[in-house]
Structure 1
Amino acid sequence: MKTFKILHMIGGGEIGGAEQHVLTLLQNLDPSQFRPSLICLTQGPFAELAEPIIPTQSFIMRNPLDLSLLPSLMHYLRQQGIDLIHTHGSRANFLGRISAKLLKLPNVTTVHSSLAHDYLSPWSARLAIGLDRLTLPMTSKIITVSHYLSMEVSSRGGKHLTTIYNGQSPLPFIDSSAMRVQFREQWGIPKDAFVLGTIGRLHPTKGHVFLCRAASQLVQRFPKLHLLIIGEGPLRSTLEAELQNTSLPYTFAGFLPQAYRALPAMDIFMLPSISEGMGLVLLEAMQMGVPIVASEIGGIPEVVRSKKEALLVPPGNVSELINACTLLIENPELAKSLVSSGQRRWPLFSVEEMVRATEEIYKSLLC
């Protein structure tokens, strides 16, 4: 039986949900059927992370429209005998789809998020959507990580769509009590503080500003409240300015590898996004037994159900965030109920099913 060479392409300028997904998928494809490799298109930490695990090359695009790499990329693809190109993100979709078309190779795209909300500049968002419309017809199959995204991609002309949820492996065993003490001591968070925490890149789409405003009001009622924000990004200075004149104790922890290890330091996990493709971090929060408050937007309600695994609120609604947090703080039994349901829910999103479904798509195009 032939072993097919599958090339994944991604920007790689950060390590977020898409990058975690790619690494998990590449590590778990059946080696008797598929030989995966990776190309990163921007300078960033992902290539360095992936290189020890999977064959990795960097072809650095100078801008989102940079086609100067096309000849060298096509030469590399021919030289490596690539059978299928799988792209993730705007730059990879643009360059990868064109390369696949010219080389008459099948192309699979995974859509991880909403293009309309991925960019700081409205102009950049419009450009990304325009490029996507232009190259969507070159795509053999499109995978979306939620039904919400499937409808969005379909509305701009996407065809041959399949939803495959991101999968989550069981997290390595950690002593939650010890991690709670360790991270609180490391960041100077009092033992008796009630911590609202979140993990994610500091970008407007993640809704951190609404969390900051809600927490700033909640501390008036719950004086032991502490806000913990794990992640890095362009919004950090804006968020710090939002909080510096409040009475709320807060911690910006920056980027943290294996951030799930810090989840036990939180009393409520917050995901106040204004747009979210799926919300992979929710699976980690459920595994670690942290009650969740999240926005009822995008793919989030497909992962956690309202009043079962999480309290869901309208995106951007500070008063509803306050109400949901107040309800959990004052009702520990409700928090326990959400956690218990989450423990039963997260295994439905398995890496095994994600890999199996993706391999079926590959085989449908190659065999």
Structure 2
Amino acid sequence: MKTHRILHIIGGGEIGGAEQHVLSLLKGLNRTHFAPHLICLTHGPFAGLALDHQIPTQTFPMRFPLDLSPLPSLIRWTRQQGITLIHTHGSRANLLGRLSAKWMGIPCLSTVHSSLAHDYSSTWSARMALGLDRLTLPLTSGIIAVSEYLAEEVALRGGRNIDTIYNGQNRLLIKDPHSARQHFREQWGIPTEALVLGTIGRLHPTKGQTYLIKAAMRMRLTFPSLHLLLIGEGPLHQDLELELERNSIPYTLTGYLSNAYEALPAMDLFVLPSISEGMGLVLLEAMQAGVPIVASAVGGIPEVVRSGKDGLLVPPRDVTGFSEACTSILKNPDLSKSLVRSGQSRWSMFSIENMILKTEQVYTRLLTKAIPPAKKISNI
């Protein structure tokens, strides 16, 4: 069987759920059939991380979201490498990748990781991204959505040939949770007796960390030793820190951590207060680490966490709902144990092997369609 060269294109300015997904896919592809390549469209940490894992990586920086100047170089490089399929992730990648694939006459596959309507701080930017996506969607050969929620959303704006493939989760390398808990708390100066509410994610409006802070303010009367642990980096770093300081909430704001899952044992409760969420891969990590979960009932989260079974789900922005859900788990050890037990039996259903296998099946289908039929040779 021919080895196809698959090019993944992503922004790469940060390392969030989409980047982790792409890295897992690039590392796990069957190299006998698929040779992975990566292009990043912004200077950032992801290109270096991919290179550390021996993934052939190039950067073609876009100066602004509609910058088409890298397109000629991108097409030329893609031809030189003999790329047979382009797989795009995110708005910038969709724009350049879909146009490149159309120009070259090769298949283009796009993975939808999140809701475009909620990915931007300004309404104008969101509308522009949605408009561009609608214009270029007809150039795709196929679409992968990481949840049924996103599959329905992209179908409403004209998407076709959609497969839902959930993100996969590797087994976490936490050998001794008790020691990991002590080590992380000592490393970051978190008191041993503190009751830690933690979250992991970009410090971005769509992740809703401000609602966790507001819920914590209400809970401090009931839990005086409460401590917030926020892991991640993003444009709201300074605003969130000011809000924490202004309300005198004990907190730890770590910034980006490459192995953020190592912090999970240090948490007494994991909270994901997102306004929008494609799937919520970090929830599978919390399940595996044995940390009870409270999360927003938005996007693909209810497909991962069954409310009342694997965690408690709350409407987004509902500060009262978050504080009550957190309180009910912290005050009820039996409920906490039940949620953790169910979560630990559920996370393995979202295996990385299954994600890779299903993605490879989509590649094979699209590439088979792209191969022109052999010409019949008549005897003269």
TM-score of Structure 1 vs Structure 2, range by shorter chain: over 0.9
- Secondary structure at the residue paired with 1:337? helix
CA distance in 1, matches of 2:335, 2:18: 32
1:224 aligns with 2:225: yes
1:7 aligns with 2:7: yes
Aligned to 2:286: 285
Once structures 1 and 2 are overlaid, which stretch shifts more, 342-351 or 69-78? 69-78
CA distance in 2, matches of 1:196, 1:27: 33
- TM-score calculated relative to the size of structure 1: 0.99
- Secondary structure at the residue paired with 1:221? coil
Stretches of structure 2 lacking an aligned partner (at least 5 in a row): 369-380
CA distance in 1, matches of 2:323, 2:168: 31
Deviation at 1:245, TM superposition (A): 2.5
Aligned to 1:199: 200
- Secondary structure at the residue paired with 1:51? helix
Q: Which has the larger radius of gyration?
A: 2
Identity of matched residues, %: 65
CA contact (8 A) 1:40 1:60 kept: yes
CA contact (8 A) 1:216 1:243 kept: no
Aligned to 1:49: 49
1:146 aligns with 2:143: no
CA contact (8 A) 1:219 1:247 kept: no
CA contact (8 A) 1:174 1:261 kept: no
Q: Deviations over 1:198-255 (max 9, x none)?
A: 0111000000000000001101111011111111111111112222132421111111
Question: Structure 1's 258 and 112: CA in aligned 2 closer, same or farther, altered over 3 A?
Answer: same
| Structural mapping, 1:1-367, within 5 Å | 1-53=1-53, 54-367=55-368
Aligned to 2:376: none
CA root-mean-square deviation: 0.8
CA distance in 1, matches of 2:130, 2:246: 38
Give the ranges of 4+ consecutive aligned residues of structure 1 lying more than 6 Å apart after TM superposition. none
Once structures 1 and 2 are overlaid, which stretch shifts more, 1-10 or 60-69? 60-69
CA contact (8 A) 1:85 1:96 kept: yes
CA contact (8 A) 2:199 2:231 kept: yes
* One-letter identity of the residue aligned with 1:19: E
Deviation at 1:341, TM superposition (A): 0.2
CA distance in 1, matches of 2:246, 2:173: 39
- Secondary structure at the residue paired with 1:109? strand
- Secondary structure at the residue paired with 2:253? strand
CA distance in 2, matches of 1:313, 1:140: 37
CA distance in 2, matches of 1:58, 1:90: 16
Q: Deviations over 1:55-99 (max 9, x none)?
A: 000000111111111111111111111000000000000000000
CA distance in 2, matches of 1:67, 1:321: 43
CA distance in 2, matches of 1:302, 1:312: 11
- Secondary structure at the residue paired with 1:220? coil
CA contact (8 A) 2:146 2:167 kept: yes
* One-letter identity of the residue aligned with 1:45: P
Q: Deviations over 1:151-189 (max 9, x none)?
A: 110111111111000000111233211111111112221
- TM-score calculated relative to the size of structure 2: 0.95
Aligned residues: 367
CA contact (8 A) 2:174 2:180 kept: no
CA distance in 1, matches of 2:289, 2:283: 10
- Secondary structure at the residue paired with 2:339? helix
